[in-house]
Amino acid sequence: GSLRGQDPGPQPLELKEVFRLFQMQYNRSYPNPAEHARRLDIFAQNLANAQRLQEEDLGTAEFGVTQFSDLTEEEFVQLYGNRVAGEALGVSRKVGSEEWGHS
Amino acid sequence: VPSTCDWRKAGAISPVRNQQHCNCCWAIAAAGNIEALWAIKFGRSVEAWAHTLSLLAPELIDCDRCGNGCKGGFVWDAFLTVLNNSGLASEKDYPFDGSGKTHRCLAEKHKKVAWIQDFITLQAFEQSAGRMGTRAGTVAPDSASLPLQHYQKGVIQATPTTCDPVQVNHCVLLVGFGKTKSVEGRQGKAASFGSYSRPRHSMAYWTLQNSWGTHWGEKGYFRLHRGSNTCGITRFPVTARVDKPNKRQQVSCPP
């Protein structure tokens, strides 16, 4: 049973209910209605991302609502990611020095 | 090399930590690696050492050579810090507050409870880590973090489009490996998506400890497919080396 053609995904009311449950489970509150609406949009986008991951995963993993579901990818990486090792080490640059004229 | 290995069962793995507002996965992974190696080499569980060992990250974060450990860092820098400070103080003496702020390095003020001899980067990780993991303990590899934002459970075998194996931006702790049973499932899902056809064959996986608390993933852990460099897990696998002191008298060059 794939979701494709069978389950259209959360509908608006359903989505709000799922979001409300998420807020309860992870003790999330937002300072004003505008922020609440913005986080709801992000939450919906994240559910879509999770669904895409689920469809493309070749293993047995399950993706869905987590404690990070109200964060954008950028916020998530900023808050919970790390420096990208390859960039910091310079390993993505060409090895060798132009001054020496050979690699 | 056995088909499965789980250092948690030997009591060698310290509890899952929560980095909170501090980007210190690198320090937590390094500390976890050292703790496990000490527990394995000296034959005592981390729990038994809780009062003396339970190293953590605060010293690594504060004493990082860039002095800004909550803005990210690298496992090898953590090991260099341990080598430069001649060891690590215990978490009891040097607590972690998770505020995201670093403090002045206080390493010199505290008694050292653990140290390392060296650290190494593993080559041919997916072949050697099993061997290393079995004999020597844990490994602290890097991984791409994005799919982990939405991960609930199971074995991730991502494609390069969903998890870029080059842009590794998270550090974790390898604690073991194994194989799924042939019908490990996606049934009974509540807040995840549909029941897709799942692999009927068994899957080899790495078991990794994350630093986002026990409410994330599989009680703070996750599993990555073993053998396909999923999420770039093979890129920067580093481990400390902890050996028993050499009791042989040192021989010096005769005059």
Q: Say whether pLDDT at A17 is over 90.
A: yes
B25 as an active site residue: the answer is: yes
Higher-scoring residue by pLDDT: A102, B250: B250
pLDDT mean over B42-51: 60
State the average pLDDT for chain B.
Answer: 78
Cα B230–Cα A82–Cα B157 angle in degrees, nearest 5: 15
Catalytic residue among B5, B170, B171, B225: B170
CB atoms within 10 A of CB A72: 16
- Contact check, Cβ <8 Å, A62/B23: no
Higher-scoring residue by pLDDT: B39, B93: B39
Question: B139 and B133 in contact (C-beta within 8 Å)?
Answer: yes
Find where tokens 């206080």 sit.
B106
In chain B, what residues touch A1 (CB-CB under 8 Å)?
194-196
pLDDT in tens, B217-226: 999 999 999 9
* Per-residue pLDDT, B46: 57
Handedness of CA B100, B85, B115, B6 (dihedral sign): positive
* Per-residue pLDDT, B40: 84
ipTM surpassing 0.90: no
Q: Which residues contact B135 (CB under 8 A, 6 or more apart)?
A: none
pLDDT in tens, A35-88: 999 999 999 999 999 999 999 999 999 999 999 999 999 999 888 887 765 554
Q: Say whether pLDDT at B43 is over 70.
A: yes
Closest CA relative to residue A71, chosen from B150, B130, B181: B150
Find where tokens 């996606």 sit.
B186
* Chain A residues within 8 angstroms (CB to CB) of chain B: 1-3, 6-7, 18, 46, 49-69, 71, 73, 76-77, 79-86, 88
B210 as an active site residue: the answer is: yes
pLDDT in tens, B54-82: 555 666 777 766 666 788 888 888 898 88
* Per-residue pLDDT, B234: 84
* Per-residue pLDDT, B181: 84
pLDDT mean over B149-162: 93
Closest CA relative to residue B107, chosen from B125, B90, B120: B90
* Per-residue pLDDT, B146: 81
* Per-residue pLDDT, A51: 95
- Please name the residue of chain A whose CA is at the shortest distance from the CA of residue B166: A86
In the A/B pair of chains, how many CB contacts fall below 8 A? 161
Question: B194 and B179 in contact (C-beta within 8 Å)?
Answer: no
Amino acid at B9: K
Q: Say whether pLDDT at B186 is over 70.
A: no
Q: Measuring CA to CA, how many Å separate B66 from each of A22, A25, B60?
A: 38, 37, 11
* Per-residue pLDDT, B216: 96
- Contact check, Cβ <8 Å, B72/A82: yes
Q: Say whether pLDDT at B95 is over 90.
A: no
